[in-house]
Structure 1
Amino acid sequence: MTPDTNTMNQLRAIVDAARERRAEDVTVLDLTDVSSTLEYFVICTATAGLQLNAVQENIREKAQATGLPRPSVEGPSERWLLLAFGGSVVVHIMTKDAREYYDLEGLWSDARVLDFPEPEVKA
């Protein structure tokens, strides 16, 4: 299923917010064809607890501006924070070690990966 324009804008805002706080390897999984309860995962890597918090705060702010509901936050943890925006979007902010250990992309390998390229930097 192809996400509608509003959903794509919400996902883009989350991806951009994560990148603004230097999150790495930001990946969006479309779960609509492989799960009856989940729609989208956004998974990104942060280096440590302080960055985990900075990324989640920026995502919360930018996502709510797009009309997403206030998220429930699981954690806090020094390795993994989860923000659940209702059932539609779940954001996983993880350290590199946690991301490799839990391998969410592997667990959800049947999901389609949505591409959100980084904006080109003009010289």
Structure 2
Amino acid sequence: MSATDHALTLARTAAEAASDKLAEDIIAFDVSEQLVITDVFVLCSAKNDRQVKSIVDEVEDRLRELGAKPIRREGERDGRWVLIDYGDVVVHVQHEEERQFYALERLWRDCPLVELPASVTAATDA
């Protein structure tokens, strides 16, 4: 079983929102075969704590427009790694140092990548 269409829509919208706030290294993994609690992980990096907050705010605003509300949010106080759980999708916004240290990509590298919009991948490749 792969990620639902709803989860893919949320993931792509979250990735676009993050890209609009200049997030870097935006990727999404279909983890539906590995986890029963969610379908997609979206990962992105920010250069500083303020940018982490800005990305989180934009992701929440854009997903709210689709009628999605976070089930929970963690790490907001420190602003180094914020996790936003939407049930079908979990968005990880990490300060670039946390991203390198925890290397979530290594943990999920066996999972298929979710194809993201060209505007997101172009910004990530630049």
TM class, shorter-length: 0.7 to 0.9
Which is richer in helix?
Answer: 2
- Give me the CA root mean square deviation: 1.7
Task: List runs of 5+ in structure 1 lacking aligned partners.
Answer: none
What's the TM-score once normalised by structure 1's chain length? Answer: 0.87
| 2:55 alignment counterpart | 55
Q: Cα deviation per residue 1:74-122 (whole Å; 9 max; x = unaligned)? A: 012232111111x2111110111101111111112221111214337xx
The number of residue pairs the alignment matches comes to 119
Of the two, which has the highest radius of gyration?
1
Looking at structure 2, the residues matched to 70 and 3 of structure 1 have their Cα atoms a distance apart, in angstroms, of: 18
SS of 1:35's partner is coil
| 2:68 alignment counterpart | 68
Looking at structure 1, the residues matched to 67 and 31 of structure 2 have their Cα atoms a distance apart, in angstroms, of: 21
| 1:78 alignment counterpart | 79
SS of 2:22's partner is coil
Mean Cα deviation higher: 100-109 or 20-29: 100-109
Q: Which runs of 4+ in 1 moved over 4 A?
A: none
Deviation at 1:4, TM superposition (A): 4.0
Correspondences of 1:1-123 after superposition (within 5 Å): 1-76=1-76, 77-85=78-86, 87-119=87-119
SS of 1:69's partner is coil
User: What percentage of aligned pairs have identical amino acids?
Assistant: 27
